[in-house]
Structure 1
Amino acid sequence: MSVRQYARDLGMGARFAVTGGREGWVRTALTAVGVGMGVALLLLTTALPGVISARHAREDARQDYSFATTVRPEADDTVLLSATDTYWRSKPVRGRLLEPEGPKAPLPPGLSGFPARGEMVVSPELRRLLASDEGRLLRERLPYRITGTIGASGLLGSRELAYYAGAEGLEPRSGGARTERLASFGSQERGDGETDPVLLMMVLVVFVALLLPVAVFIAAAVRFGGERRDRRLAALRLVGADSRTTRRIAAGEALAGSVLGLVIGTGLFLLGRQAAGSVEIMGESFFPDFVDPSPALAVLVAVAVPACAVLVTLFAMRSVVIEPLGVVRTAAPARRRLWWRLLVPLAGLAMLAPMLGQGRSEGEFNQYLVTGGVLLLLVGVTALLPWLVERVVARLGAGPLSWQLAVRRLQLSSGTAARTVNGVAVAVAGAIALQMLFAGVESQYVSDTGHDPARAQLEITLPDRARVAPAAEAVARTKGVRASVGLATGEIANRSRDPEASVDMVVGDCAALRELARLPSCHDGDAFLLKGPAYDTRFDNSMRSAVLRPGHRAWIDPAFADIPGLSVPFTVPSPLPEASFRADSLMPDANGLLLTPAALPERAAPSLSGEIFVRADGSLPDFQEYVRNTAAKVDPVAEVMTMSASETSGKYASLRTGLFIGAAFVLLLVGASLLVSQLEQLRERRKLLSTLVAVGTRRRTLGLSVLWQASVPIALGLVLATVVGVTLGAVLLRMTATPVAVDWAGVLSMTAVATAVIVAVTLLSLPPLLRMVRPEGLRTE
């Protein structure tokens, strides 16, 4: 057959789709809406690489870390910058103090000029927050006059909180605060560190697990209205069309719906792209111009969706015999076979098997095997579910009238029921596997800090020791604070320059030192030796012995190579009593020399940095904001950190956040697609339902039958999804060399979410059902 004939048949089907009267339009509209939602999500996914690269480019352009071991000399083209990052409740606020040192000083991206002392330039979202009643406490922390707005080129997102303030008297320093001298922004080199093979593998699995349900929904959407379409195509046989021609015409109708779906999906994507600048998801915001699909991927979507519509329709009609006097469906008498359906997931397992036990020790995982294996395992759900539904519903029987109506309908069209549930089952299977994978490897990316949040909730880091005592007193008087402990830290070595051995030093009064160790007795002027368990090794013992020999002359703040230091001499007391380390120490890494203030040489005080530990009343709302305001008054560059028992790797946390965002969009697609599919099935059965009502069937019975009809395939789909999801999760954990453990709480939560979505869709479909079952539905034009 010629390509021209094929194109003519497809074109005829497309004309039927748009000129077939109200029925044709409704069918085409349902297909287009279903396809459009999937296309919108696919386009959003193709834009993700652009979003990530755009954010990285903005972040690199405003990079202000020098990563240098020496301080750059002052010049007319340098600027002093102090990092003053803070938090407003749980949201980060990026802050910088700027002091230009000459007329050629570089400007940060997004600024047209340097703010004067006492002035600041803010992001639009921070300006809005400061102008509202909600930002009252934050205004106290930022006592600067707003004189401008940061441009989009200096921000990572439309909802980012950021400011640049003018300052004077800044000096390059470290040890609790960061002040840099820069000659440019964004030109510093920085490495991203070694690539983590497990994280890369997890990224691939996340993309496959989130995108495959979208493809399944699109494939299901192009088959909306299939039964009525097949009956109508029988009329074409009466005028001489053969079976192949009718199939091509049916494919043309699906093609028209998919092309219209592309238009709708593009429109939805553009609306979502425009709205991206005004929404915030999981703490992340974006600019609309970030959401720019890759041209190659966008073309792939535009070609793949219509091609998928044609292929799916031709594949589906292989089991339909369209004769001039009606339609014979061969699917009912010919039972579905299991053997080839099992080959799909088994092939996926075979692709993943060579990587079992690989972990991180053998380099990166094979991306093609990972993608193909996960894809086949999840596609196996769509292959096995129709067989499972057919086998189970064939054995269902006696029950209430509503149950019998639902079961009979499922027995007559089990394929349609399975097709509706396929997307949900694939999404749940992928979610369960990801839940197991993330729960299993979480311990590899979450480390124990050693801190006890019950003993201290906040830690304030100060740039120098001189302000520790007054700062601790000021914090202690802050609203909501029960107690504060001030400590100063530094370093002591065996030589004044290029030392061979050095240990840590902590300075505090007796009450503060007792928060770190158990002291035999303590008076101002005493010194103690502390052997922290984290450093109690032969190497660390030799270091301590070389530096802290009683009577030995040591040096505080030694000058390492290319790093300036005060190098203050200090004679180690003799004897030097040993303190016993506390298991609940406020400084789990404390080790070396403990000094009371009178034992510290006065000249050495500026070399130390300060830390204040805060015990607060957690029941007081915004107690953290009061402490942050006090710390900002003590020193604008003071850093306030929330104490936690553990900390999570940034890359792992970002991937987990991306998973949650993607899952939220897929969940919305699941619900919307299910609702459209349910409405399409009700429309197909409108006359039948109206007939049942006309002969006395109660609406309640019909409503329950719809509920049973949705519940049975969903229950079977969730069971199958659980089995496949747990299997895939176990395989992925074995690949990462992680012990296999089923997170049953996560499995139950995934199935509960899917069930909730289904219940919501069923409830939303009841009002249209009640309208359709009126006797007027029997009217025929």
Structure 2
Amino acid sequence: MRTVLELAWRLLRGGGRRGLLGSLLTLAAVAVSTGLLMFAVGANHAFGQRADADAWRHPHKAAAGKGTAIEALSTDYVRGKPITVVDLAALDGRAPVPPGMKRFPKPGETWVSPALGRMMADRPADRLAQRFPSGKAAGTLGREALIHPDELVAVIGRAPSDPAVTAQRNESEAVDATAAPERIDAYATGAVSSRAQVYQVLMIIASVLMVVPLLVFGGAAARLTVARRDQRLAALRLVGATPGQVVAITTAEAVLTAAAGALAGVALYAAAVPALTRITIAGGTWYAGDLWPGLAALAVPAAVPVLVGISAVAGLRRVVVSPLGVARRETPPHLKAVRLAAFVLLLVAFAAVSGSLGGMGKAGLVVLLAFLALAFLGINLVGPWAVALIGRIAVATARGPARLLAGRRLLDDPRSAWRTVAGVALTGFVAGFLALMNPSASALGDHPTDRLELLVPHDRSAAVSRQVQERVNGLPATVTVDRGRTDPPLPVPGRADGEEADDTVAVRVRGGADQVERARTALAGVVPGKVATTPADPDAVQAELLADLRTGALTVLAVSFLIAITSAGITGASAVLDRRQAYAMLRLAGTPLQVLDRARRQETVIPLAVMGGGSILTGLFFAAPFAAGFGVSGALTLLAFVVLGFAGILGAGALSRPLLRSVTADPAPRPD
């Protein structure tokens, strides 16, 4: 084993300047892959941490006779931003201390998050602070109580007889925003709200859209400068090296390079974490600790070199089986059309089950993720076959030397040509999939922001309206009662079927947003357990989710573009190094450098136009069953992808033009 490692190290060191450049290209590719894998794993870990931080607010009923405290949940709003209000009352001295607090809150105390504390200090008391007992904060909630640094949270201590922790609440008013009082003996640390589940599901889908192309890119990284390595290993086989020794040398060489790249990728992600914390999702930024994926921070850089080593060994079949054929540069056998048949079978299978995925719950999500991963792998499987077909057509229709050279290269080594455009082609699938995930905020409607509403039982509406009128005296407001506004009636605990629907006590406030906030504060506690909200308040939360969908889509697309352009640049430079002797011989034979460069460009652009378009259509096909809307935003996403994709590929190709000029300037063969 020691001899193998020493020989692998000698081969890495003794490959000459261009051999070193090839190794650096592999290292850079692995570093980018590792950094982005860390981002995907870290983002999933962060959403899990947020779900855990939210869980304690959702009461879980204690076993009979074991309740030590009462917990209830409601949601208030200030300028369209939600304020999570947790009411707590201790039943005895064993009441559990809430996360992020040093002790259980006393009756009349209000503990607030740092962001809410700053907002209370900055605003007049009659617009916010007076909604809470004593009108000031008794303490500040710690990190363990908060989902994100910008969250607005208030924990209010109550007496066990306080109506705020005894009155029933209509939980159907807003999902996850309201919870009726429950006797608890511990906080529901395992509970996951539906909103947190939505974000976790979306992040898992986004991870698949990012990680599968990354794995493909990482596998391609192990095959960079494949022609140079194959020739060198074939020479070792011809002088007596066994297949096992060749495999061991290749594995050691790939793992050494990949390990250095993996460590560089971890450092790259660590440096990016401070910037990533500023991305706003679900109403706030991130804690840096949430984005650091714990043990996965060690697992990812440990796994990446192993995967790269496996991928490198997988490409050795030609060397082990026929080293003489490699040395003589024989053209490998044509790819089989069974690749296309497998891809078509995948499309048919998805079409058959896609209609039922929505009703399968978590199992449907697993099936969808599996199909998305298979779609990427299917595109990557059929890609080389399609490139070879494009090469045949290009050769048959060539009317000039550049097109003929490009076609012959595509036909001779379709796998290498596919690696150059695979990144952008796979990104085309992502762009097509996300183009149909652009719901418009206009679908939420245009609800009033100056009408505060309280939903109350019919037999109490008259009394509540009088109290409301007393509270808003002196404000530019009009109080009305809408009879049985809900249709059908909302279910309320304890109400018999057939009873009248709840009435809505409405307050129309004139004078702008500041007057509305004054009215909200005046109405605090008028109906125990309920807060006055406008019809537009829940829309603000939904609009936030839609904005997060667009932010997530753009983030995934940006990451995919980073993968694609990096892949194109690195594989383009690697291809020049692999073919340097062929380029040099053509140059000696009198082929102008411009023709070689034009042939190299066509070798990339022609398959990109075909496979990129096909990938976009595949993405649209897989997203169609879950389409949330295709408007201007979706069209612009696709247009931006087409423009940036071609521009990025051409730019990446231009970066390796000086390298092409360099390898053709000195055609003498090099013993590397």
Superposed pair shares fold, TM > 0.5: yes
1:111 corresponds, among 87, 101, 112, to 101
Cα deviation, residue 341, structure 1? 0.4
Compared CA separation, residues 369 and 668, structure 1 to 2 (3 A): closer
Q: C-alpha deviations, 1:270-300, integer Å up to 9, x for none?
A: 44567665543453544344456585x7787
1:643 corresponds, among 530, 533, 536, to 536
SS at match of 1:224: coil
Cα deviation, residue 381, structure 1? 0.8
Compared CA separation, residues 239 and 303, structure 1 to 2 (3 A): same
Instruction: Tell me how far apart the structure 2 counterparts of residues 365 and 248 of structure 1 sit (CA, whole Å).
Output: 41
- 1:761 equivalent in alignment to 2:648: yes
Contact 1:238 1:324 in 2 (8 A): no
User: TM-score of the superposition, structure 1-length normalised?
Assistant: 0.62
1:721 corresponds, among 607, 612, 615, to 615
Contact 1:206 1:659 in 2 (8 A): no
Instruction: Tell me how far apart the structure 1 counterparts of residues 387 and 598 of structure 2 sit (CA, whole Å).
Output: 19
Relative to total residues, which structure has the larger helix share, 1 or 2?
A: 2
Q: In the alignment, which residue of structure 1 is the partner of 2:215?
A: 215
Instruction: Tell me how far apart the structure 2 counterparts of residues 251 and 678 of structure 1 sit (CA, whole Å).
Output: 25
Contact 1:99 1:166 in 2 (8 A): yes
Contact 1:65 1:188 in 2 (8 A): yes
Query: Which residues of structure 1 form unaligned runs of 5+?
Result: 478-483, 489-504, 507-515, 517-531, 541-556, 562-590, 594-607, 618-622
Instruction: Tell me how far apart the structure 2 counterparts of residues 625 and 714 of structure 1 sit (CA, whole Å).
Output: 56
Q: In the alignment, which residue of structure 2 is the partner of 1:546?
A: none
Contact 2:568 2:652 in 1 (8 A): no
Contact 2:22 2:574 in 1 (8 A): no
- 1:60 equivalent in alignment to 2:50: no
Compared CA separation, residues 679 and 306, structure 1 to 2 (3 A): closer
Contact 1:81 1:182 in 2 (8 A): yes
SS at match of 1:330: coil
Amino acid of the structure 2 residue aligned with 1:643: A
Amino acid of the structure 1 residue aligned with 2:84: R
Cα deviation, residue 257, structure 1? 2.3
Q: C-alpha deviations, 1:555-603, integer Å up to 9, x for none?
A: xx99869xxxxxxxxxxxxxxxxxxxxxxxxxxxxx969xxxxxxxxxx
Q: In the alignment, which residue of structure 1 is the partner of 2:639?
A: 752
2:113 corresponds, among 115, 123, 126, to 123
Contact 1:469 1:486 in 2 (8 A): no
SS at match of 2:454: strand
- 1:12 equivalent in alignment to 2:10: no
Cα deviation, residue 34, structure 1? 1.8
Instruction: Tell me how far apart the structure 2 counterparts of residues 680 and 689 of structure 1 sit (CA, whole Å).
Output: 19
Contact 1:85 1:94 in 2 (8 A): yes
Compared CA separation, residues 722 and 742, structure 1 to 2 (3 A): farther
Q: Which moved more, 1:746-755 or 1:258-267?
A: 746-755
Contact 1:690 1:776 in 2 (8 A): no
Contact 1:13 1:250 in 2 (8 A): yes
Contact 1:346 1:377 in 2 (8 A): no
Q: In the alignment, which residue of structure 1 is the partner of 2:572?
A: 681
Cα deviation, residue 391, structure 1? 1.8
Amino acid of the structure 2 residue aligned with 1:155: L
Contact 1:82 1:98 in 2 (8 A): no
Compared CA separation, residues 380 and 148, structure 1 to 2 (3 A): same
Cα deviation, residue 138, structure 1? 9.8
Q: In the alignment, which residue of structure 1 is the partner of 2:27?
A: 32
Cα deviation, residue 312, structure 1? 2.6
Instruction: Tell me how far apart the structure 1 counterparts of residues 552 and 362 of structure 2 sit (CA, whole Å).
Output: 26
Q: In the alignment, which residue of structure 1 is the partner of 2:459?
A: none
| Mapping of residues 436-515 of structure 1, within 5 Å | 453=446, 458-461=451-454, 464-469=464-469, 476=476, 486-487=480-481, 505=483
- 1:171 equivalent in alignment to 2:166: no
Q: Give identity over the alignment, percent.
A: 20
Instruction: Tell me how far apart the structure 2 counterparts of residues 225 and 138 of structure 1 sit (CA, whole Å).
Output: 68
Q: In the alignment, which residue of structure 2 is the partner of 1:93?
A: 83
Compared CA separation, residues 704 and 752, structure 1 to 2 (3 A): farther
- 1:627 equivalent in alignment to 2:516: yes
| Mapping of residues 499-648 of structure 1, within 5 Å | 505=483, 611-612=505-506, 614=508, 624=513, 627-635=516-524, 638-643=531-536
- 1:336 equivalent in alignment to 2:335: yes
- 1:667 equivalent in alignment to 2:667: no
Q: In the alignment, which residue of structure 1 is the partner of 2:141?
A: 150
Cα deviation, residue 152, structure 1? 1.0
Compared CA separation, residues 164 and 421, structure 1 to 2 (3 A): same
Instruction: Tell me how far apart the structure 1 counterparts of residues 34 and 189 of structure 2 sit (CA, whole Å).
Output: 39
Compared CA separation, residues 433 and 107, structure 1 to 2 (3 A): same
| Mapping of residues 409-424 of structure 1, within 5 Å | 410=410, 413-424=413-424
Amino acid of the structure 2 residue aligned with 1:265: G
Q: Which moved more, 1:635-644 or 1:719-728?
A: 635-644
Contact 2:569 2:655 in 1 (8 A): no
Instruction: Tell me how far apart the structure 2 counterparts of residues 376 and 723 of structure 1 sit (CA, whole Å).
Output: 16
Q: Which moved more, 1:170-179 or 1:752-761?
A: 170-179
Contact 1:403 1:705 in 2 (8 A): yes
Compared CA separation, residues 654 and 140, structure 1 to 2 (3 A): closer
Compared CA separation, residues 124 and 275, structure 1 to 2 (3 A): farther
Contact 1:63 1:186 in 2 (8 A): no
| Mapping of residues 217-366 of structure 1, within 5 Å | 217-233=217-233, 236=236, 240-241=240-241, 246=246, 249-271=249-271, 277=277, 279-281=279-281, 283=283, 285-291=285-291, 293=293, 305-319=304-318, 323=324, 326=327, 328-331=329-332, 334-338=333-337, 340-346=338-344, 348=346, 355=353, 358=356, 365=363
Amino acid of the structure 2 residue aligned with 1:752: L
Contact 1:460 1:631 in 2 (8 A): no
Instruction: Tell me how far apart the structure 1 counterparts of residues 597 and 126 of structure 2 sit (CA, whole Å).
Output: 56
Contact 2:336 2:385 in 1 (8 A): yes
Q: In the alignment, which residue of structure 2 is the partner of 1:596?
A: none
Q: In the alignment, which residue of structure 1 is the partner of 2:461?
A: none
Q: Which moved more, 1:623-632 or 1:657-666?
A: 657-666
Contact 1:158 1:278 in 2 (8 A): no
SS at match of 2:84: strand
Cα deviation, residue 86, structure 1? 1.8
Instruction: Tell me how far apart the structure 1 counterparts of residues 599 and 158 of structure 2 sit (CA, whole Å).
Output: 72
Compared CA separation, residues 628 and 193, structure 1 to 2 (3 A): closer
Contact 2:73 2:180 in 1 (8 A): yes
SS at match of 2:534: strand
Compared CA separation, residues 83 and 354, structure 1 to 2 (3 A): closer
1:162 corresponds, among 126, 132, 153, to 153
Q: Say how many residue pairs are matched.
A: 631
Compared CA separation, residues 61 and 742, structure 1 to 2 (3 A): closer
Compared CA separation, residues 370 and 655, structure 1 to 2 (3 A): farther
